Structure formats: structure tokens, C-alpha cells
Amino acid sequence: MEYPLLSKEGKNLRNIELNPQIFDGKVNLGLLTQAVYCYLNNLHSIRKASTKTRAEVKGSGAKPWRQKGTGRARVGEIRNPLWRKGGVVFGPKPRYVYKNIPKKMKAQALKSALNAKFKDKELFILEDLKVNSKKTKDFLKIIKALNLNKRSLFVDENFSPKILLSVKNLKNIELVRAKDLNAYQVLNYKNLILTLNSLKVLEERIIKKN
């Protein structure tokens, strides 16, 4: 399957052949949902909410009054959960909750995400992302040339210090190395821009895990 290869100026250089093992047009929505759920859960996997049980709250363990004869409800101690400032029953405790999915499923989820962008025509393939300047206005020229009006994710094998500085002030632009890319990041941005080098890395990642 052929796909246009673009320059940083937005010009069509030539058509390249996409690997049919990756870009087969199949999107597994169930797998994508599971992968995204796991990723979002792991962003805040440490649960810090904490409460005290009746054994931990401050107060005497003595019986406030005798069991019978006072006319009041029976009670064992002032720390019981029914009383104000008493312990909490089945309250939350700090815990670490990490969800993981097998490597093959991660690779398949990434493949499905790439195919989703391919089918929606939100995938751009650039020859490279080399820049000679660290100025933001110079990187904005690339964005305008590609007609990227919404949130965009640029993926390359590695990024130079200059390009990292040039996008630092752009809130709708994100840079991710190909070896770190996941399905959630692909779906979280409107446009996906890959370089030829990053495309090779992604192909190796996905095919290796299958």
C-alpha cells in the first residue's frame, strides 16, 4: 500500500510502500479500550486516601456507661464507628494499583491505533524532522506547511536539543520517541506525524512482538 512522503515544507516528495503487516486497516476497538484503560489507571496508580479504623483513632477503650439500667443505647467504647470522631468501617487505605497487559497485546493495540489514524487520514509521514534553529517560529512554519490546526503528536527515533527547545512553548504539540510510543498517545492527539526513521522503529517493535 502506497502512502505520500512529505517534506517539512509540506511538499509531496514521493510515494512509499507501507508494511502490510502493520497497516492492514484492522482496528480492534476492544483491545484499544483495554490498553487505554490500563494506561490511564497507571498514571495515578498510587492511591493515597487513608482513614483510621476504630483501633487507630484516639480515645479510651473503656465502656462509657453500664450496659443496662441507664435508659440509653448500649455502647462498648467511644471509638465505635457510630459515634462522632469514631473509626471508619471499611474505609480506604493507601495502596498501589498497577494494571498491566501482555507485550503482544500492547503491540497489537499500538498497531490498531496506527490503523485508526491511517483510516481517518490523520497520519502524516515526513522524510525527517531536522531543524537548524531552536526558535519556535521556525517550527511553526512546519506546522503551517502541514496544515496542522489541532493537537499534533510528532514521533521520531530521537530528537535534537534544538527541536526540543523549539516546541517547548507550543501547548498543542508533543514530541515522543518511537520506542516509547503507546496506543493512548496516538489516540489522544488529532494528528500523528511520523518520520521515516520512527516508522522503521515502530515496524520492528510491532512485528517483533507478534
| Mean pLDDT for the stretch of residues 190-210 | 90
Q: Are residues 201 and 175 in the same domain?
A: yes
Q: Are residues 134 and 170 in the same domain?
A: yes
**Domain boundary at 36, 71, 96, which?**
96
Does the pTM surpass 0.85? The reply is no
Q: Are residues 39 and 109 in the same domain?
A: yes
pLDDT, tens digit, for every residue of 20-67? 899 988 999 999 999 999 999 988 888 899 999 999 999 999 999 999
Q: Are residues 192 and 143 in the same domain?
A: yes
pLDDT, tens digit, for every residue of 113-138? 999 999 999 999 999 888 888 888 88
Q: How far is CA 177 from CA 8, 75, 80, 202, in A?
A: 18, 63, 55, 10
Which residue, 81, 92, 73, is CA-closest to 54? 81
Q: Are residues 52 and 36 in the same domain?
A: no
Checking if the pLDDT of 1 tops 80, the result is no
The pLDDT-based confidence of 156 (bands split at 50, 70, 90) is very high
What is the per-residue pLDDT for 147? Answer: 87
Show the domain range for 39: 2-45+102-209
* CATH (domain of 108): 3.40.1370.10
Checking if the pLDDT of 86 tops 90, the result is yes
Q: Are residues 132 and 34 in the same domain?
A: yes
Q: Are residues 106 and 173 in the same domain?
A: yes
Q: Are residues 39 and 59 in the same domain?
A: no
What is the per-residue pLDDT for 10? Answer: 85
| Mean pLDDT for the stretch of residues 81-106 | 93
Q: Are residues 135 and 91 in the same domain?
A: no
> How many angstroms from the chain centroid is the CA of residue 80?
43
Number of domains in the chain: 2
**Helix, strand, or coil here: 4?**
strand
Are residues 146 and 180 in contact, defined by beta-carbon separation less than 8 angstroms?
no
Q: Are residues 174 and 196 in the same domain?
A: yes
Across the chain, what does the average pLDDT equal? 91
Q: Are residues 115 and 59 in the same domain?
A: no
Q: How far is CA 114 from CA 24, 94, 136, 187, in A?
A: 10, 37, 28, 9
Beta pairing, strands 12-17 & 2-6: antiparallel
What is the per-residue pLDDT for 74? Answer: 95
**Domain boundary at 61, 78, 96, which?**
96
